[in-house]
Structure 1
Amino acid sequence: MSTKRYDAIVLGSGPAGEGAAMKLAKSGRSVAMIERHREVGGGCTHWGTIPSKALRHNVRRLMEYNSSPLFREASEPRHLSFPTMLRHARQVIDRQVSLRTGFYVRNDVPVLQGEARFVDPQTVELMGPDGRSSRLEARHFLIATGSRPYRPPDVDFEHPRICDSDQILELDHTPRNIIIYGAGVIGSEYASIFRGLGVKVDLINTRERMLAFLDDEISDAISYHLREHGVLIRHREEYERVVAGDDHVTLELKSGKRIRGDLLLWANGRSGNTDGMGLEALDIVPNGRGQIEVNDDFQTAQPHIYAVGDVIGYPSLASAAYDQGRYAATHMVNGECDYRLAHDVPTGIYTIPEISSVGRSERELTEAQVPYEVGHAFFKDLARAQISGQTTGMLKLLFHVDSLELLGIHCFGDQAAEIVHIGQAIMAQPAPGNTLRYFMNTTFNYPTMAEGYRVAALNGYNRVPK
C-alpha cells in the first residue's frame, strides 16, 4: 500500500478545519483535507449554523409581513410550510458549498473523502466511500471533526415522530404541535422558528432558567418574549421515557407530567465526533461526550496532533472555531503563535428576536465584587426601531463605576448579533479608549440602531455618583 506524505493533514472541513487548512496552504505547507461527507463545509454548513439561521431568517420575514398594518391593507396574512422554508434555506447551503469548494481548489488543497483512523502517531488510514483504503503520513495533524446531537440510548430516533436537530432538517411536513426537549441555544432557536410558523410549542428546560449563561435580565427577556408569543416553557424537568405511536408521541417526565405532541425534537446536548479514530492508542482519550482535552495552544497529549472547534467543547461557536484553526495552524508553522485569541468571544443566539453578548454579566461582576453601573437603551425609544417596526428589545452596557471601563455588552432584539460588534470593538481598545466616554462623545448616524450606544451610555453615566 503506497503512502502519501504531507506537511499537515486536517480532519474535518467545518470552520475550524477550513481556517487551519487555508492558513497552512498560504504559509507554503503541503496540506490535505479529509472530509467524511461528499461536500465540504461540515456540520456548520449542512446541519447547524447555516440552515437553521437561513430558516430563521425566512420565518422572521414572514412574521414581519403578517404583523405589518401596511401589508394588511394590501393582502391577507400569508402561511408557508416548514418544507417550503427548508427548500429556500438549502439554496444558501448550495452557495456556501460552492464558495468553500473554491477555496480548496484555488489553494491547491486536495479534499479526500472518507473516514480517517490513526494507525500510528504519524499515519492515518483513509477508508474511501468505495471501500478502498489508503495511508497518509504527515508531520502534523489537526482534528476538527465537529460534533453531533447527543442521543440517549433509550430514545428511538428511527421513529418518524422523534428527531434530533440534524434530522429536523429533513422534515417533510409542518407539525401541529411540537415538543422540544432542551432549552439551550438550539432548542430555543427552534422554539422561535416553529412558533413563528404557528406551531404549538412545548419547550422543556432541564435547568432552573433558560440560557443561564446569559445575563439574567436578557435570559428573563427571552423567556418572557417566548411565553408572550405562545411557547409553553417548563423548567426543572427531566424525561423519564419517550413513548411514540402512529399518530402522536408522548414525553413522560420524572415529575409525573405527560406531554403529548405530533413531533419530539431532542435538543439536549452534543457529542464530539471522535468515535473509531484510534485516538485511545495514542493516549488521546476523549471524555464521556467525545471531547478532546487540549492545552492553551490546542495541542493534545501528542504535541504534533492538534484539536479545535466543537470537538474540544466550549465555546462551540463557528466563529471561535475558525479562529482556533488559524491559531493552531500558526503554531504548527512557527512552533509558537505571536497573537492570542480574544478573551471575550461574542455570543450570538438566533432566536426571534436574537440575542448577543460579549464580556461579563451582572452576576459575574457582583460575584467578583467589581463596582459597576448599568446603562440601557430600549429599542422602543429609538427612531430606527420605530421605523422598522422592530421595537422589542434593548441594549445594555455594563461599566466600571470609577474608570467607566466597559465590562460587558448585552443586546436583545432585532440585529443584536450585528449591534454587539460596535461595543466589542471599543472594549478591545487599550485604556483609556475602552470607556463609556467614547459613546458619549461620538456622533452616530441618525436614525440608526447604533445610536442606542449613545443613549445607553448617557443613561448609565447619569447613574454615576458625581
Structure 2
Amino acid sequence: MTESHYDLLVIGSGPAGESAALNAVKHDQRVAIVEQQRWVGGACTHQGTVPSKALRHTVRQVMRFNRNQIFRDLGDPRTLTFPRLLTAADDVIKRQVTMRSKFYQRNRIEVIIGRAHFVDAHTLAVSHEGREHRLTADQIVIATGSRPYRPENIDFYHPRVYDSDTILKMSHTPRKILIYGAGVIGCEYASIFSGLGIKVELINTRDRLLEFLDDEISDALSYHLRNLGVMIRDREEYREVKASDRGVEVTLESGKRLRGDALLWCNGRTGNTDQLDLDAVGLQADHRGQLEVDEHYETSVEGIFAAGDVIGWPSLASAAYDQGRSAAASARGKENCRFVDDVPTGIYTLPEISSVGATERELTQARVPYEVGRALFKDTARAQISGETVGMLKLLFHVETLEILGIHCFGAEAAEIVHIGQAIMKQRGEGNSLRYFITTTFNYPTMAEAYRTAALNGINRL
C-alpha cells in the first residue's frame, strides 16, 4: 500500500471538482483529483448536461429542416432513430473528455482513477482493480455529484425501464415512451422524444410544470409541449410499474393505467455519498444523500468541503463551477468567498427557457409594486429571419425606481439572451434600471433588441 500527500484532494471530476482543482493549483498548491469513472468529466459530461443538450440540438436541427419549405424542395422530411441520435452526443462527449484531460495535464494535476472512501479527516483510501492505496491531504473537497433516484419497487434492470443515465444506452426507438417526473430533466427529454416523432406521456406529480418558474412561462411550456404532441398528466402518482417483453404498464394512484414501449424515470436525484464511509469522519448525509455546508462550503468537519450536486440546490453545472472555485478558496484560508445564490435557470426544452430574479407570484406575495414589459419574438425581425418566432422576453420592474426585479425568457436562445438583463440587474443603484434598455442602441436585427421592445412596452404602462 502506497501513500502520497497533497495540499488539496478533490473527489470527483465534474464541474465542481474540476474548478476546485484548477483554482487550487493556480495558487501553487499540490493537487490530486480522484475519479471513479474511466474518464474525467463526471456525470455532467457523460450522463447529464452535455449529452442531453447535444441530443436536443440535433433534434432541433431536424425539426427546423422538416418545417422549412426551402429544404422540402430538396427532399422529403427526415427522421432519426434514437441510437443514431446518440452518435452525435458521443462525438461531443469525446471532445469534452479530451479538452478536460488537457486541463489536468497542462496544470500538472494528478488524476487518480478509483473509488475513494474516507479513512480519517485527512486520509482517503482509493481502490482500483483490486489494489488500494492511500492519499493524505491538508484539505479535502467532496464533489461526487448525484445520480438518479431509484425506488426499490421498480426493476431498473429491465431492458424497457430507464433512468436519465441509462437512457443514453437505449438501443431502439420506442413508438411511445412514458416519462415519470416532469422536472427539468423530464421536460427536456419530453421535448427530445416528441421532436423525434415519438408519442410521449409526461406524468407530473405536481399541479403544474416546473412550479418554480413564472406562471406565464410555465403555462407557455405546457402549451408548446402539448403542441408537440406530448400528453401531460398533472397531479398523478405511480402505484405500480410492470415491465414485460411486450411493454411497460404504469398504474397510477388515480386508477389510470398507462402503457408504452419504454419508461423513463426522472423523479429525483440522490447525492453520491453512500460509498464514501462518511461515518469514519463523523459526517452524515441527509435522506437524499446530500451534505450540508456553511457559507464557505465547509461541512461540519473542519477541513472537509463539499460543492456541486452533492450539496443540493441549485444542482446546476453553472453553479457547480463557481461553488468548486469558492470551496478551494476557502480551503486555502481565504476569509471571503462567493456563496452562489443568484443563479439563472437554463432549461433546454423546445423552445428553451431561462430566467433570473423574482417571478410575478413572488412579487405579488411580497407586496412589491411592479409592472411588466413584454416583447414577443414573432414581432422581431431576427426571429422572422431565423424562423424561430415562438417565445417572448418578459421584464418585471419596480414601478417607482424602475429597478429590474426579474427577467423571464421563453424561446430560441433564451439561455443566452437572459445574460444581457442579468448584467444590468447586477449593477448597483441607478445602474439597475429599465431606462438602460430604452437609452441603449441595440444591433438590428438581433434577438437582443427584444430588451428595448420590452422596456418600451413596460414604460408605456406607467
Deviations 1:2-40 (A, max 9, x none): 321100100000000000000000100001000000100
Cα shift at 1:283: 2.2
Once the two structures are superposed, the pairs formed by residues 204-215 of structure 1 within 5 Å of their partners are 204-215=203-214
Instruction: Kindly indicate whether residue 65 of structure 2 is the aligned counterpart of residue 83 of structure 1.
Output: no
Deviations, residues 47-70 of structure 1 (Å, cap 9, x unaligned): 000000000000000000001122
Structure 2 counterpart of 1:306, one-letter code? F
The equivalent residue for 1:346 is: 344
The Cα shift of 1:71 comes to 1.2
Aligned pairs for 1:351-390 within 5 A: 351-390=349-388
Q: Any residues of structure 2 matched to 1:211-360 within 5 Å, and which?
A: 211-337=210-336, 339-341=337-339, 343-360=341-358
- SS of residue in 1 equivalent to 2:116: strand
Give 1:412's aligned residue.
410
Matched, 1:113 2:130: no
For residues 72 and 118 of structure 1, the distance between their equivalents in structure 2, rounded to whole angstroms, comes to 60
2:269 and 2:288 in contact (8 A); partners too: yes
Instruction: Report the CA distance between 1:394 and its aligned residue.
Output: 0.2
In the alignment, is the contact (CA less than 8 A) between 2:295 and 2:339 conserved in 1? no
Aligned equivalents of 1:378, 1:291: Cα separation in 2: 41
Name structure 2 gaps, 5 residues minimum: none
State how far apart, in whole Å, the 1-side matches of 2:150 and 2:187 are.
Answer: 18
Question: What's the counterpart of residue 420 of structure 2?
Answer: 422
Displacement of 1:72 in angstroms is: 1.4
1:227-278 deviations in Å (ceiling 9; x for gaps) = 1111000000000010111111100000000000000000000000001211
Cα distance in 1 for residues equivalent to 2:70 and 2:275: 57
Q: Measure, in 2, the Cα distance between the counterparts of 1:40 and 1:148.
A: 16
Paired residue type of 1:72 = R
Hey, what does 2:437 align to over in structure 1? Answer: 439
Give secondary structure in 2 for the equivalent of 1:306: strand
TM-score, normalisation: structure 1: 0.98
SS of the residue 2:451 aligns to: helix
Distance 1:421 1:167 in 2: 33
Letter paired with 2:271: G
Specify the SS of the correspondent of 1:334. Answer: coil
Preserved CA contact (<8 Å) 2:7 2:138: yes
Aligned to 1:198: 197
Secondary structure, aligned partner of 1:76: coil
The AA in structure 2 aligned to 1:69 is Q
SS of structure 2 residue aligned to 1:22: helix
**Match in the other structure for 2:392:** 394
Alignment of 1:96-245 (within 5 A): 96-128=96-128, 130-245=129-244
Q: CA deviation at 1:88?
A: 1.2
The aligned amino acid for 2:370 is Y
Partner of residue 24, structure 1? 24
SS at 2:332's partner residue?
helix
**Which residue is equivalent to 2:74?**
74
Match of 1:448 among 438, 443, 446: 446
- Structure 1's unaligned 5+ residue stretches are none
> How far off its partner does 1:284 sit?
1.2
d(CA) in 1 for partners of 2:275, 2:349:
35
Are 1:55 and 2:50 matched, yes or no?
A: no
* 1:340 shift after superposition: 2.5
CA distance, structure 1, for counterparts of residue 340 and residue 8 of structure 2: 25
**AA at the equivalent of 2:106:** R
Q: Which moved more, 1:275-284 or 1:227-236?
A: 275-284
TM-score by length of 2: 0.99
- Partner of 2:182: helix, strand, or coil? coil
* Structure 1 residue ranges, 4+ long, deviating more than 4 angstroms after superposition: none
Q: Give the Å deviation of 1:173.
A: 1.2
Offset of residue 398 of structure 1: 0.4
Q: CA deviation at 1:343?
A: 3.7
